[in-house]
Every structure is written in C-alpha cells, then in structure tokens.
Structure 1
Amino acid sequence: MALRLSIQLLSWLVVLLAICVSATYPKTARLGLSGKAMESKSEVRLPPEFVTYFYTQTLDHFNYRPESYTTFQQRYIINSVYWGGANTSSPIFVYTGDEASITDVAMVAGFITEIASHFKALMVFIEHRYYGVSMPFGLREEAFSNASTLGYFSSTQALADYAELITYLKRNLSAENSPVIAVGGSYGGMLASWFRLKYPHIAMGALASSAPILYFDDITPQNGYFVVVTKDFREASESCYDTIRQSWFEIDRVAAEPNGLTVLSQIFSTCKPLNSSQELKDYLGLVYAASAQYDNPPDYPVNMLCNAIDGAPEGTDILGRISVGLNSSIFGHQPCNYIFDLKPSNKSGWIWQDIKSVLDNFGSNIIFSNGLRDPYSSGGVLQNISDSVVAIYTAQGAHCLDLLTPLPSDPVWLVSQRNTEISIIEGWLTEYMNATLASNTHGRSG
C-alpha cells in the first residue's frame, strides 16, 4: 500500500508540474495519414512539430461479445521532423504511454528527440487508455463509473492498443520495413519491455528506463522501495537519517498531548488541521520518497533536504528540524503545507490498476536502465540476463533520468549512460539492416 500511495502522489506531481496549454498541428500532409489532426484542449503546449491525432481504437481486443466491438478515441502524437522516410527504412521510436497525459511525456522526454535526430527516426507517443483524453465510453465519469466499465483498464489491453495502432501507422505510412523500438520510463518502461516480449514481430527492441518488472510474486523484497529510500538518506547524512528516524516517535508523542494535533499543525504550517499523527507521517514519508526517487542533478533533493535539517539553528528541536527540511524540500516554498488525501479511490486510474496485483506479467533486445539510488527501480533488472537483454545502471542515477531532455550541465556518468544506450540501439538497427539487405539479396538471386 505504501508503495502504491507513493507512486500515486508522484504521478500526480508529474501532472501538477506540467504547463497546461493547447497545441497546434501543421505538417500533417507530409505523413500521408488519413483523417484530420485534432487539437487537444487545456494541455501542455508542445512545439509545432509534435502533431496530435486520434485513432479509433478497439475497446476489447480479446473477446467477441457485442460490447467488445465498441471503440474509443485514443490520442497519439507524431513528430516527423527528423524522419528519413519510409523508403529509407528509417526507424520508428514509439513511447508506450503510461499513467499520465501523453502531452506531458512528450514535453519532458527529450532524450527520445535526441536519439530520433541521431537515427533519423519517426517519433510516436501513444497515450495509455483511461489516461489523458483517451477515455473509453467518452467521458472520464462514465469510464470510471463501475467495475464493468473499468474492466477494460489493464496493461494487456493497453499493449494490444499499441500493437493495433503501430500496425495501422506503418501500413498507412508505407513504412512496413521501418523497424520499431519501444521506449518507456517507469510503468511505461515496464510496458515497453512487455511489448517487446509479447509482440516481437512488431517491436525489434525496447529501452525500459527505471522499470521494476521484477517487483512481482516476491521476486524482490516487497519493502525494497523504502529500503533504498532509507539508504539514500543515510548515505547523504547520518545525522539527518537519525533525526528523521527519531521524528516518528516524536510526532506520536506530541499528538498524544492535549491539543497535540493543533501544535503539530502549527509546527508544520499545514493548510488545514491535522486529523491524526499518521496523516502527517504518511505525508512526510512521501516527501522523503519523492526526494529520493527524483534525486536529480544539479539540485539533488535528498542532499537539499538533509542540508536543511542538519543546518537548522543550534538548539532547534527534532520536529523543528523536520519542519525546516520539509520547507526546503521539493514540496516546500509554499504558504502552507497541504496534506494530501491519500485514501485509495476507483476515481484514480493508477490506484485502480494497482502496480502489484493488476498489471499483467508477461526475449530479447531490451535495455533496462536503472539508477541504484532510484527506489522505484528496486524491482528493476540490474544485471545482464543475456546478450540481448542488457542492464545499464549507475550509482548516482535517479528515476527515468536518462529519458529527460539532455542538458549541458549533465554529469559525465549520465552522458555516458545515454551514449551506451545509443550504441546498443545502433547495434540493433545495424543488425536489422544487414538482415534486411541479406534477405533482399537472397530474394533477387532466387
């Protein structure tokens, strides 16, 4: 439950931090796609080369009941600015959409743009059903209304969506000979790896960043996430770690006193009165988890938080230090601290899917990139499984950091990690082109 709640909040943060505007879509004629590009409202404004379309997607790919022939409009985004074209067999990089609006992903996943430029690739970003505006049954309220309408909300259905849509695109772009490589981060990385395994005739490779595909059936310790969070803070500062550890008892002690919850609300400047000490502890736990998971350079949120705790004025008590740390964290710098309502709800897509019990467990040509400091990758692949299922990990990495837009200030280890990924993909594409050339030569000689 703790892991699910952490992921729910972190997913919400991704959406919160996105800039909400609309987009315009030129250059559609170049692709030769049927249908009209459609404008989405109240979303991040993407550069004009990112063109949005909607595909009439099948609701149920696996049954033949009458309702299985129902369809819905699935959003996808194409960027063809670097594409070498179908006649050159240039690759297609497909981002397997995850638990967010696909416009948010296209905005921040700048590494895909970089490798598209390098390989003259077409970029396709496909939105996951039940997220963003890709809502079966038309409206979110209808889609989330009951267990029956939510019964089509699964990773197996999402993977089949990607398979159908990619097949459609390749056919309509006359790009049947263009190799497809799936790319994804976090849950999207899990989907990318599963897509390569389940549909190897469609995707010839996958890059799965921070994808905890082993976090199932007790393959890895189920407390592994918070073990890594604890390790991150302890490595940053032993005294900071000790202060946080002691604070849990101190919060309960103060809460048990007369007007204790009021005192805690004042210490932590909460936007509304606390209902329990557990409410505050849950919130602080998520702050620490978010700081560790997104411990990105150059700010390094764990160090930033611990520096504040350790640097509090001499004589500051434990809860005072924790409050200073909170206000200096990625959640701080606001008039008051809003303690989120973390009760599970079937109105939350991510909670409904449930990373542990609902995501379906489904082999070759898959890159798993993980940071050893990334708690979410505690169920990730940290060593090579075969020559074609390879792992790239670093001691300093953070959640999906390699997929973010490259910056001149990126540390050497991050640049090296991305270069390794490019090299591996280059090997896949070279192998594909050689095989295609050999096949064509054999066909002509026959």
Structure 2
Amino acid sequence: MATMQLLLIICLAAICNGFTSVKLHRRPPDTVASVAERWFLQKLDHFNGADTRVWHQRYFVNDTFVQPGGPVFLMIGGEGEANPAWMQYGSWLTYAQKLGAFCLMLEHRFYGKSHPTLDMKLENLRFLSSRQALADLAHFQTVLNQDLGLSGRKWVVFGGSYPGSLAAWYRMKYPHLAYVAVASSAPVNAVVNFPEYLEVVQASLASLARNRSTCPKTMKVAFDSLIQLLAYKENYEKLTEHFRLCAMLEINSIMDNNFFLETIAEFIMDIVQYNNDNREFEGVKGGNVTIEVICDIMAKESLGAPYDRFVAVVQTILEATKQTCISAEYKKFIMDMKDYSWEGTASQGGRQWLYQTCAEFGFFQSTDSLSQPFSGFPLSYYVQQCKDIFGPGFSLSSITDAVQQTNEYYGGLHIQSSRIIFPNGLIDPWHALGINSNISYDVVAIQMQDAAHCADMYPERPEEPLAVPVARRSIFTLLTKWLQS
C-alpha cells in the first residue's frame, strides 16, 4: 500500500487504505469514535473443505437508519485497522440515512484485531489474499442473512482504494450476494512496475500549483541536489539535521541510499495523494498542508536554493503531522518488517500489505520514468525489499507471475459485471490503475476534477473541490435507481 509508509497505505484506516504505493500512510490515524466491536466466527481457509479451523473476525454495526425493506450497506475493511469513526461519519452514512440502510463494517483478515493465525510467519501469510478476503465477505454475509433475518434485503458494498477493488471484485465474483458496489479510487489493474504513479504526481503538482509547471521543475532540481549531497559522507550530518532523521544517516549500500531517497520523496507523494482531503474526523493530522502550500514554499526564492526550499517543505509537513523525526534506516525497516509477531512495529499493516504487494499486486511506484521529479528507487529496489523480507523466492519473475494471475482472475481493466460505480479523483495517482470511463450503462466511472484519493467517501465540507459533491449526488442517484429495480 513500499517502505515505512507501507506501514501507513493505512489511509482511511482500512477503509480507504490508500496506499501511497505500497505504502499507506506515514502514521496510523487515531481511532476517534467509540463504537462497540463485535466478533464473527470466520473460516481460516475457504478453499480447503478439509480445513475446519476458525478464528474471530472483528466487525461493527450501525442500525440507526434501518427501515423495513431497506438495503444492507457493507463497508469493506482493507490494509489497516478498521476505524469505527467510519460508523459515524462519511458519505455512505448520508446515503444510508436516506435509503434506510442497515450498516456494517468488516475488518480485513490479518489487519487490526482480526488475527486468523498465531503470528505472521510466512507459512501463515499464505492465508492472506484478496481471494480469501472476498470469501470472508461471502461467508459473513451468508451467516448474517440467516442470523439477523437480512436475506430479503439487497446488499451494497463500499470500499476505497484496495477495499474499493475488493468491492468491485466482490460484485463480480459473488453477484448473487452483492447487488451493488461503490468502488472508490479502486486500482483494479495490478502491475508490477507502476512508474505512472509519479508521473501523475508531477502532473498534479503542475495542475494545482499557483506557479504551475515551475513547481515540479524546481522539485526535481532540489531532489537532484539531494542526491549529489548524498554522494559524500561529510554531508551526512547536515542531511540528518535538515531532514530531522531519528538516527544519524548511514549509507553502506545501494539499498540504504534508495530507502532514504524514497522515504523523503514519500512526503511529497502523500501530499499529492491526499491533497485537500477531509480525514480529520478519523484522527489524521496535517490536512492543511496541500499542493498549493508546498509549491508556494518551493517558489520562495528568499528561502535560498531549490534544495533549501525542499528542506523547508519537508519540515513543514513534519510539523503539521506532529512527527518528531523521520526513520530512514533500511536495516531497521527490514528488521521491523521481518518481525512476524502481532506485537511488532509493522503489525499494524506494514508487513501484511508488503506481503500482498509482493505476492499479488506489485504496485511498485518506481522512478523508472523521466516524466517525474524524483530519482533513486527503481523497480529493482522494490523487488529486493521483497527478497530481503520474505526470502529469495520472491524474485521479479515470481512477482510478475503473481500479478499476471491476479489480472487473469479479476480481469484487470476489463470489468465484466453490472451495477458498479467507480469514482476517481484525477489528482490521485492511483486513478491511473482504475476505471476512468464507462464500460456499460451500469458499470459507471465518475471522474472528479482536482480531487484526491477517496475524496467522495469523506463527509462534505465547503473547501472540497466542486466535482466532489457532484460525484456524491451521482452516486446517490444511481444507488436509488438500482435499488428500486
């Protein structure tokens, strides 16, 4: 959902786990709502009838709006802890209130408190896959239909980012269970190498900055200067101070070098992906730092050379997000990711999501393109991470085969289904792997100009791009129409 930020693709805390790649979010959002958690007895392996092992999966309920004959809304969890704030806020609850829906949220296996196995050893992670997650949804729905008397109601599934893909795939693979899917910012096309992510970052910096094309150009000059400084050990102390590293910078290998560069670049990548969003309700800090803010800093010649302005940008983001320092040590990252205990640093989602990218999706946001402002983290860097953490079996060829199998199973961009809505913000780099034009009259793409990752899912606010409330109205219109058919 890549590196330490992988620990953080923990976007909407499992709802719009918008992996800035394989990363999700720089720091996990705080859980801010108090909603009673419930537990469902789930199967460990849905594809082996001889395996009778079970475990307890966490879910949440909001029955505030339910009306006789109304639909069931199911919010799908993703690559992070399910945040119960989503049971009190979000556009899906606005739809639920108007349509009389019974609302549920199911946490994804291996994330949050939903632990199917005693630990996350590699032999246990084989039970972590999108296919098992979809089967979890099906079994959950089947049992709740029986136990709660919901079988006469139409089920609508929601999700953002990876959960958005799951929503679309659930409608495709289990059409007898899911009646409608709203798949927000869903990257349904798996790719090993995803340099287009940074190409969209560059285009978004240019399109929203007040100084337009100057911003990404100045950013590139600054990053090239950083690379030049990194080449000489006598600069390490200065770089440690400038970027407020948690430990003195040490570069002993190409992976050390590339990890540092990617870690710093991700600050800009995150700003673009989540630009001007409305995540405050779930405990995310720093939303006031936008593309316009960082590009204004990059344009201030009074701050010095482009490199000095870039340092000011990173420090501004650190202060806004309340981060005291940056962890940029590759050895520590690998050590954290190899910890398979549920108490480990990476247990909030980092180890699990990195495994899914290495074993299913790829999504590696490399610098293997000239049309973007960064350098230093090519595809080979991400492949080496997979090897260093999960073993030599995770080679480029094995990852390529896994990604091909994913697209063969789900269809990639060639969606064959009905009653699916694909909202995408065009500032969001993930829209490059999503559905951006209508496939049929009832497989519908909704594009949101100037909007970021999962923008349609958040509560309304006056500052949001004009396309976002228009998208929400379109979603509600389609939901109303389809649920009446």
For normalisation by structure 1, the TM-score amounts to 0.81
Give how far 1:341 is off.
Answer: 4.8
| Separation (CA, whole Å) in 1 of partners of 2:250 and 2:88 | 37
Give how far 1:8 is off.
Answer: 1.2
**Does residue 82 of the first structure (1) align with residue 65 of the second (2)?**
yes
| Separation (CA, whole Å) in 2 of partners of 1:291 and 1:255 | 24
Structure 2 counterpart of 1:79, one-letter code = N
| Counterpart in the other structure of 1:232 | 204
CA contact (8 A) 1:215 1:380 kept: no
1:143 aligned counterpart, secondary structure: coil
- Between the two proteins, the alignment pairs up a number of residues equal to 389
Deviates more, 1:180-189 or 1:344-353: 344-353
- Deviations for 1:71-121, whole angstroms, at most 9, x for unmatched residues? 00001111000000xxx3210010111111112562685111111101010
CA contact (8 A) 1:19 1:45 kept: no
1:175 aligned counterpart, secondary structure: coil
Give how far 1:12 is off.
Answer: 4.5
- Deviations for 1:344-390, whole angstroms, at most 9, x for unmatched residues? 63541100111325674421110000011101221010000011111
| Separation (CA, whole Å) in 1 of partners of 2:150 and 2:299 | 58
Give how far 1:215 is off.
Answer: 3.3
1:204 aligned counterpart, secondary structure: strand
CA contact (8 A) 2:449 2:467 kept: no
2:312 to 324, 329, 345: 324
**Does residue 199 of the first structure (1) align with residue 202 of the second (2)?**
no
Q: CA, structure 1 residues 378+335, in 2 after alignment: closer, same or farther (shift >3 Å)?
A: closer
CA contact (8 A) 2:451 2:465 kept: no
Structure 1 counterpart of 2:38, one-letter code = Y
Deviates more, 1:405-414 or 1:259-268: 405-414
| Counterpart in the other structure of 1:40 | none
CA contact (8 A) 2:62 2:87 kept: no
Q: Percent identity?
A: 27
Q: Which structure is richer in relative contact order (CA contacts within 8 A, separation 6 or more)?
A: 2
Structure 1 counterpart of 2:425, one-letter code = G
| Separation (CA, whole Å) in 2 of partners of 1:105 and 1:62 | 33
| Separation (CA, whole Å) in 2 of partners of 1:158 and 1:205 | 18
Structure 2 counterpart of 1:318, one-letter code = P
| Counterpart in the other structure of 2:161 | 186
| Separation (CA, whole Å) in 1 of partners of 2:329 and 2:482 | 46
2:6 aligned counterpart, secondary structure: helix
2:226 aligned counterpart, secondary structure: helix
Q: CA RMSD in A?
A: 2.4
- Deviations for 1:153-184, whole angstroms, at most 9, x for unmatched residues? 11111100111111111112212110001100
CA contact (8 A) 2:75 2:157 kept: yes
| Counterpart in the other structure of 2:418 | 364
1:268 to 223, 226, 243: 243
Unmatched 5+ stretches in structure 1: 21-43, 432-446
| Counterpart in the other structure of 2:119 | 143
| Counterpart in the other structure of 2:300 | 311
Unmatched 5+ stretches in structure 2: 14-26, 252-256, 278-286, 341-350, 363-398, 411-416
**Does residue 389 of the first structure (1) align with residue 474 of the second (2)?**
no
2:218 aligned counterpart, secondary structure: helix
| Separation (CA, whole Å) in 2 of partners of 1:330 and 1:301 | 13
CA contact (8 A) 2:223 2:307 kept: no
| Separation (CA, whole Å) in 2 of partners of 1:384 and 1:256 | 48
CA contact (8 A) 1:394 1:413 kept: yes
2:302 aligned counterpart, secondary structure: coil
2:56 to 52, 73, 91: 73
Q: CA, structure 1 residues 403+102, in 2 after alignment: closer, same or farther (shift >3 Å)?
A: same
Structure 2 counterpart of 1:72, one-letter code = W
Equivalences for 1:278-289 in 2 at 5 Å? 278-289=258-269
| Counterpart in the other structure of 1:352 | 355
| Separation (CA, whole Å) in 2 of partners of 1:366 and 1:412 | 23
| Separation (CA, whole Å) in 2 of partners of 1:367 and 1:6 | 32
